[in-house]
Amino acid sequence: MLYRLSVSMLRNKQDAEDSVQDTFMRYLDKKPKFNDEEHEKAWLLRVCTNICKNKLRTIKRHEYVSMEDFVAYEFTYKDFTIFDAVSKLPEKYKTVVLLYYVEEYKVDEIAKILDISSSAVKKRLQRAREMLKVYEDDCN
């Protein structure tokens, strides 16, 4: 779950592995107490997302992509197009789309993870779908 989120955000296998490792290191350092497994999962997702965002900021400062990273995954053209479209979404929409469609969280669960209202999650999903539709229309 954390690895898929990291790969989808960072698009780099090694950076994703580092992010997951950093997430668990932070978990071991903080030793947070949770009411149940869902709260623990939400905490891990939030920390992993923040670590990935920080890595992305660092990467943007050193803008370069190796050929190894580019060919690390084999995608079909359709997969690549969808992945490309989702990756171009603003961060707040991309996160909701990934949690909803890839990680298969329910709207209420996403709201708790991101500390926003359920209606905000629904609105972000709606706007993301609209943006993806515009992207699809532009490609055709």
CA angle 110, 91, 44 (to 5 degrees): 45
63, pLDDT greater than 80: no
pLDDT at 71: 52
For residues 54-62, give the mean pLDDT: 75
| pLDDT band of 136, cuts 50, 70, 90 | confident
21, pLDDT greater than 70: yes
Distance CA 9, CA 55 (A): 10
For residues 78-100, give the mean pLDDT: 82
20, pLDDT greater than 90: yes
Domain covering 74-140, topology: Arc Repressor Mutant, subunit A (1.10.10)
pLDDT tens, residue by residue, 34-52: 889 889 989 999 999 999 9
Distance CA 75, CA 71 (A): 9
Q: Of all residues in the chain, what percent carry a pLDDT higher than 70?
A: 83
Domain residue ranges in the chain: 1-73, 74-140
Locate 28 and state its tokens. 């071991």
| Arithmetic mean of pLDDT over the chain | 83
